[in-house]
Amino acid sequence: MTDAMPITRSLPVLVDTVGRAQLGHHPGPAPRSAPLYVCGGLLIVDPFAPDLAPYAEVDATEGEGAWLPLAYGEDVARTLRATRRSAAKVPVSADDPAGRVLARDSAPWRPGLHHTPLARLAVLMWLARWAPFPLSPALLDIEAGTLLAALPDVVEDAEDTARDLLVRRAPDLAAIATSVLDRGVLAGEHWVAALLRDALTATAHLAEDLPLAPRLRDLADRACLEAGEDNAADTMDSELRRLIERVPAYEGTTLRRADGWRTADVDWAQVPPNAVASHEGAIRWRLQGSGEDTGIEVGVDAADQYVADPVGDRLAFRVYTPTRPLPVAIGALEHGAASWRGTARLREPVHPDRLHVDVYHPAWASPVRSGVAAALAAAERQAVRDLMVLRTHLARDDRRQLVRWAEIVGADTAARLTRIEEEHGLDPLTARVDGLVRAALAAAGNEPPDPANPQLASSEWRPTLAEWSRLRPLFPA
Amino acid sequence: MNRDDAARRRDDTESVVTAATRAWNRVPRATRCKFNPKGGYTKRIWEGLLYHVARDTNLELRPVLRHDSRGELTAAQAEQLVAAIVGQSARLDRAGDWVQGLKAARGEVKRLRAAAGKSLPAAASSLSHRIFPAAWARSAEDRAVDADECLLLFQSFAHDDPDFPPPTHAAFKALFARQEETEALDDILAAFTPAAEATSDPAAVRDAEALLLDAPLGADWERLWARYTLLRPWERHLTAVHATGLSRHAVPARPTVQDDRQDDSPGDASQDPPLTISAEEEQDCAGEVFGHSESTVLPLDRSIWRRLDHSVRTLASCPSAAGLTAREVVHEEARRALAALGLANDEQRAVLCLGIVSFPAVGAEHSAVLLAKRTAVPRLLTDLAELTERKSFVATTLRLGAAQHAPVRRALEDPLPGCTRLLWRMLHSAEIRQEDLPNPDERWIRLIRTAANRYLQVLRGELKLVLSGTKPAEAEQDAHLAGDRLENLADDLTGPDSTAPVLYRGPHTHQIVVDVIVDGLEQRGTTGAELVDWVHRFIDPLHHDWAEPAWGELYAEYQHKHQGDSGPVAFPPVPFESARDIVRSLYRPEAGGLR
């Protein structure tokens, strides 16, 4: 892959009465946004288009000096200064709403010097929370620490955080680097070798007092020079097949099955990451008994690599009927072999067709989503799965699969979102998925590239260490 | 703050009708049905009831409210309108009882007149036009509805009441035509005004009076009246106007100083501070503020309201303060009233500024303070709200779980007192860095932001914890530390007197909360739409005063019911705040029904 040429795009710049500046367009609520705190503001990268201009809220008094030109380029920084001056001249009445826009302008955007590490860091954090499969925490830490070390003036406390992460992971890093360099796993993987080299260099620099530091420096030198035979097994196929497998469009909360069990979907926003399986229909439930003693038995598929966690051990389920504002049953779920299970008694006998079963964690709980909102949530989950598959194809640089992906997603997810949009109102995710489909076709050479769409060849789209590791394990066998 | 609220806040304006409908729908359904069989909002509800409720309870809204419900409100004004109406739910319920009584009287009058071969006069036929305002006025006193009084009251409707609705062009013209000279108004007012209260700027008052006199028939009388009352202490004018027969409206009680001290004895002079303070009194106050000697200064958060009240009143009485800008007022206040306490610094000024906005009675009396309320402080509060909303967004987007901590949510739901309290606590406990910023505005905003960031750092700490991917043992330890931080923060925010919020509990507690509510209400025969309405009100922050005792009552009943022979069954203690948080997360909105 080669870096795409930076493309000039116009970026809106607004300043309101509070003095806050807004740059770009907001990608929308979770999971459409990958937020990142920066000094004196918030940067929101679109995980579906990390190479495009991020959205930023820049506070009035801080932070504009150092990072804005680095993230957005000089043109945008200059335009913002001019817009602020214009805003200062606008008379503000006491009756004005505090958030009224006082001045607006637009500026040509080219990615700043720090755009790539910022976008990668934001996407990395997003992947850690939204990827439908667990990624290696050690590799996530190592890459996050490396990126933070490169952004000392942009992210608040970046250096301290980077030091914390990298020092803690230094032994892991040394073991991984030794293994892959000894086995020659990095043959032809210049991008991954460069990531590993940067991680080793940053760790050796930030953890100078560690006994491991000299070894890390040696490994960094080797990572620059060494290359070997790519003989690692491709372990991603089975996972990818599961992700590619399409699920029926959302038709409601339950589907009748022959054995009396019904299925329902997990709303990802209400459970911790990597606690339950990521496929649709992960909840199974059936009624037991009759009359006043009617109970409900619920099972939820656990994530493949679920590791018991003090925070994640409190999953529960709740059962709603259309007429009651509060659940008619609440029960705890216990983690057993490959699944979560629990039972509860229903407050009143209800026909199973009228029940809605919702799995949640008490600390993640939000009002239950049903009807069109649930269909939209299902489409969001599908879009996240599609994005992960796309990133995998990109990591493999597999053009045939890119075309196939574009055909499937264009016919399914994009069409599904369009239908919901017609019923539910405008949703930026629809345009974003459409854009990705065209971008995938362009990356495969089947369509001319469109500057308005993401450029999949750009470095922001390159896989993280953790994703790459799923294709070619970096850890010692 | 939910997504709808955030979206509404981003909108610049909202029509009065929309805001009033929103407010009306948050009033208990049973109360609403007393005014209207279906409980819905109608134009008559506004004209006959809500218009008067809003005017009587929120002085700041008076200039922007119109009897015909036309007009637009800013987002802040709309929220004030909603809060003003929903905050009167209890009194509205009493008013509803009076409406029922008056309706019964109407039937009685109708029957008596029909027996005498007469129909009901047209003036008395409209329920909302006459009955609603009368019921609202009667509901000021907390007493049972008197059928005889209702009958007398309704009979009085048979006579035309020229003074309703309040000040009209005709009424003003009649008054001034009778007196023929503008000075006569001053004479009338002086007769009903204590001698100690001299008009601060007679020329300005005369100008406003002249405007009133010269205004054409189609003039905006509400605006003229608002301008006029702004120049003179409003209660004095209203008393005078009322006494001269210009209006039969009862003079609304002046808002009293909100006092968060529980240990004050009744009759404490500080509960009713004098409107003017002499130099000697001021000297006394510098050394002993409201009865507390300098050597034993209480924590400022315990008496912030009365300190603000005292200091701003003192300043307002100073003739030289008339031309001061908002910032100068605050600086002057800090220099004069608070220097003796050694707190005449930025944090004091910031808190003072925020206190002013939370204290409408003070601000209404001094135009400079009013200016401060309407410019600087909303700006700072908006800034803070944006910050908190941003943190909330990040927590949701990154699936951080319990980052929406209860006190933070409370501050978001109840922004004005929540933010004030929060900032005060933060500012009081923190050492604010004194950095040289050339622009005083920047210095102020920086100060507020520093305080806001302190508690938001806790959330950031959580983010780091999650990203760090610590081993389970370390994570547990870190989680405990984070939990401690949150609990300390909770104490810091809510104070020792309030119920300590409980972090998220397991499904067992959720089940108990649902059982307490559903069992308790079903036992009372509350089902269907009433149950939905009850739950909706329970999670509404504006119904806090009703919801907290309601929860206590249901919970006590539940405990009593499950008390066996061998003693009470052990339940986890579920304070109101936790119960409300749990219900909020379990509540299923009606919209978008299940398929």
Across the interface, do A325 and B592 touch by the CB < 8 Å criterion? no
A214 CB burial (10 A radius; 0-12, 13-18, 19+): exposed
Across the interface, do A326 and B475 touch by the CB < 8 Å criterion? no
A29 vs B: CB within 8 A: yes
Collect all residues of chain A within an 8 Å Cβ-Cβ radius of residue B399: 30, 129-130, 268-269, 272-273, 364
Collect all residues of chain A within an 8 Å Cβ-Cβ radius of residue B595: 252-253, 370-371
Mutation target among B467, B509, B581 for the A interface, most CBs of A within 10 A: B467
Alpha-carbon span A299 to A357, nearest angstrom: 11
Question: Quick one: which of B440, B452, B456, B454 has its CA closest to B346?
Answer: B440
Q: Which of A62, A314, A330 sits opposite B514 (nearest CB)?
A: A330
Element (DSSP H or E) covering residue B289: strand B288-289
* A&B contacts, CB < 8 Å: 201
φ, ψ dihedrals at A271, nearest 5°: -130, 155
B446 vs A: CB within 8 A: yes
Q: Which residue of B has its CA nearest to A145?
A: B468
A248 CB burial (10 A radius; 0-12, 13-18, 19+): exposed
Q: Which residue of A has its CA nearest to B536?
A: A325
Residue B456 distance to chain A (closest CA, Å):
12
The answer to whether A127 touches A466, Cβ cutoff 8 Å, is: yes
B203 vs A: CB within 8 A: no
A residues 356-395 closer than 8 Å to B (CB): 356, 360-373
Residue A444 distance to chain B (closest CA, Å):
31
Residue A334 distance to chain B (closest CA, Å):
12
Alpha-carbon span A278 to B403, nearest angstrom: 23
Question: Quick one: which of B35, B129, B148, B123 has its CA closest to B85?
Answer: B35
The secondary structure of residue A253, as a DSSP letter, is S
Collect all residues of chain A within an 8 Å Cβ-Cβ radius of residue B10: 99
A320 vs B: CB within 8 A: yes
Both tokens of B121, joined, read 């006069």
The answer to whether B130 touches B157, Cβ cutoff 8 Å, is: yes
Strands (E), B393-538: none
Q: Which of A42, A60, A273 sits opposite B445 (nearest CB)?
A: A60
Both tokens of B166, joined, read 């309040």
Residue A83 distance to chain B (closest CA, Å):
18
Alpha-carbon span A325 to B521, nearest angstrom: 13
Angle made by CA atoms B529, B532, B536, in degrees to the nearest 5: 140
Which residues fall within 8 angstroms of residue A274, CB to CB, at 6 or more apart?
A133, A134, A303, A305, A306
Both tokens of A157, joined, read 């406390």
Which residues fall within 8 angstroms of residue B387, CB to CB, at 6 or more apart?
B449, B452, B453, B456
Confidence of residue A144 (pLDDT cuts 50, 70, 90): very high
Alpha-carbon span B577 to B559, nearest angstrom: 18
Q: What is the pLDDT of residues A282-291, one digit of tens each?
A: 899 999 888 8
Question: Quick one: which of B415, B546, B420 has its CA closest to B87?
Answer: B546
Collect all residues of chain A within an 8 Å Cβ-Cβ radius of residue B383: 18-20, 60, 98
Alpha-carbon span B150 to B159, nearest angstrom: 15
φ, ψ dihedrals at A102, nearest 5°: -95, -35
The answer to whether A60 touches A41, Cβ cutoff 8 Å, is: no
Residue A196 distance to chain B (closest CA, Å):
18
Sheet holding A55-58, edge to edge: A34-38, A41-45, A55-58, A21-23, A9-16, A101-109
A165 vs B: CB within 8 A: yes
The answer to whether B505 touches B578, Cβ cutoff 8 Å, is: yes
Which residues fall within 8 angstroms of residue B352, CB to CB, at 6 or more apart?
B308, B311, B330, B333, B334, B338
B residues 42-81 closer than 8 Å to A (CB): 74-76
Both tokens of A135, joined, read 């990624």
φ, ψ dihedrals at B190, nearest 5°: -60, -35
Both tokens of B309, joined, read 């009240």
B residues 476-495 closer than 8 Å to A (CB): 476, 479
Alpha-carbon span A300 to A277, nearest angstrom: 8
B381 vs A: CB within 8 A: yes
Alpha-carbon span A335 to A333, nearest angstrom: 7
A residues 248-277 closer than 8 Å to B (CB): 252-253, 268-269, 272-273
Predicted pLDDT at A123: 95
Q: Which residue of A has its CA nearest to B513?
A: A326
Three-state DSSP class for A41?
strand
Q: What is the pLDDT of residues A200-252, one digit of tens each?
A: 888 888 877 778 778 888 887 777 665 333 333 344 455 566 666 666 666 55
Across the interface, do B508 and A372 touch by the CB < 8 Å criterion? no
Q: Which residue has the tokens 């009979």?
A: B155
Q: Which of A129, A161, A330 sits opposite B464 (nearest CB)?
A: A161
Across the interface, do A97 and B381 touch by the CB < 8 Å criterion? no
B374 vs A: CB within 8 A: yes
This complex has an ipTM of 0.76
Which residues are paired to B564 by β-bridges?
A: B567
Alpha-carbon span B558 to A466, nearest angstrom: 52
Across the interface, do A332 and B508 touch by the CB < 8 Å criterion? yes
Collect all residues of chain B within an 8 Å Cβ-Cβ radius of residue A426: none
Which residues fall within 8 angstroms of residue A370, CB to CB, at 6 or more apart?
A253, A320, A356, B588, B592, B593, B594, B595
Fill in the amino acid letter for A77: A
Give CB contacts under 8 A, 24+ apart, made by A428-432: A428/A25, A428/A27, A428/A28, A428/A32, A429/A28, A429/A32, A429/A48, A429/A379, A429/A380, A429/A383, A432/A27, A432/A32, A432/A46, A432/A48, A432/A49
Alpha-carbon span A61 to A81, nearest angstrom: 12
Across the interface, do A92 and B442 touch by the CB < 8 Å criterion? no
Q: Which of A98, A138, A372 sits opposite B379 (nearest CB)?
A: A98
Both tokens of A151, joined, read 């952004």
A residues 292-311 closer than 8 Å to B (CB): 307-311
Question: Quick one: which of A249, A187, A250, A258 has its CA closest to A223?
Answer: A187
Question: Quick one: which of B92, B94, B99 has its CA closest to B27?
Answer: B92
Across the interface, do B594 and A316 touch by the CB < 8 Å criterion? no
Q: What is the pLDDT of residues A48-64, one digit of tens each?
A: 999 999 999 887 554 45
Alpha helices in B197-300 (DSSP H): 202-214, 221-231, 234-243, 279-287
Fill in the amino acid letter for B146: D
Q: Which residue has the tokens 């854009």?
A: A435
Mutation target among B394, B397, B456, B531 for the A interface, most CBs of A within 10 A: B397
The secondary structure of residue B131, as a DSSP letter, is I
Question: Quick one: which of A326, A320, A272 has its CA closest to A296?
Answer: A320
Which residues fall within 8 angstroms of residue B272, CB to CB, at 6 or more apart?
B257
Across the interface, do A252 and B467 touch by the CB < 8 Å criterion? no
Alpha-carbon span B471 to B475, nearest angstrom: 6
Percent helix, percent strand, percent coil in chain B, to nearest 5: 65, 0, 30
Which residues are paired to A329 by β-bridges?
A: A319
Fill in the amino acid letter for B217: L
A23 vs B: CB within 8 A: no
Predicted pLDDT at A253: 54
Percent helix, percent strand, percent coil in chain A, to nearest 5: 45, 15, 40
Across the interface, do A128 and B467 touch by the CB < 8 Å criterion? yes
Alpha-carbon span A328 to A177, nearest angstrom: 54
Return the percentage of chain A with pLDDT > 70, whole number: 84
pLDDT (tens digit, 0 to 9) for every residue of chain B, 595 residues total? 444 444 444 446 788 888 999 999 889 888 998 888 778 888 888 888 998 898 888 877 877 787 777 778 888 888 889 989 998 998 999 999 998 888 888 777 777 666 666 555 544 455 556 788 888 888 888 888 888 788 777 766 654 333 333 333 333 334 333 333 334 344 434 433 333 333 445 566 566 656 655 555 556 655 665 555 555 443 344 444 333 333 333 333 222 223 333 333 333 333 333 222 233 333 333 333 222 222 222 222 223 334 444 444 544 455 554 554 444 554 554 454 344 333 334 444 455 555 444 444 333 444 444 444 455 555 555 655 666 677 678 877 887 765 444 444 444 444 334 444 444 444 433 323 333 444 444 555 555 555 445 434 433 444 444 444 433 333 344 444 333 333 333 333 333 223 333 344 578 888 889 999 999 998 888 878 888 889 988 988 778 778 888 999 999 888 888 776 555 556 667 778 778 888 888 888 754 333 3
Whether pTM exceeds 0.90: no
CA distances for B568 relative to A208, A311, B563, B571, angstroms: 62, 31, 4, 9
Return the percentage of chain A with pLDDT > 90, whole number: 20
Across the interface, do B467 and A61 touch by the CB < 8 Å criterion? no
Alpha-carbon span B254 to B211, nearest angstrom: 27
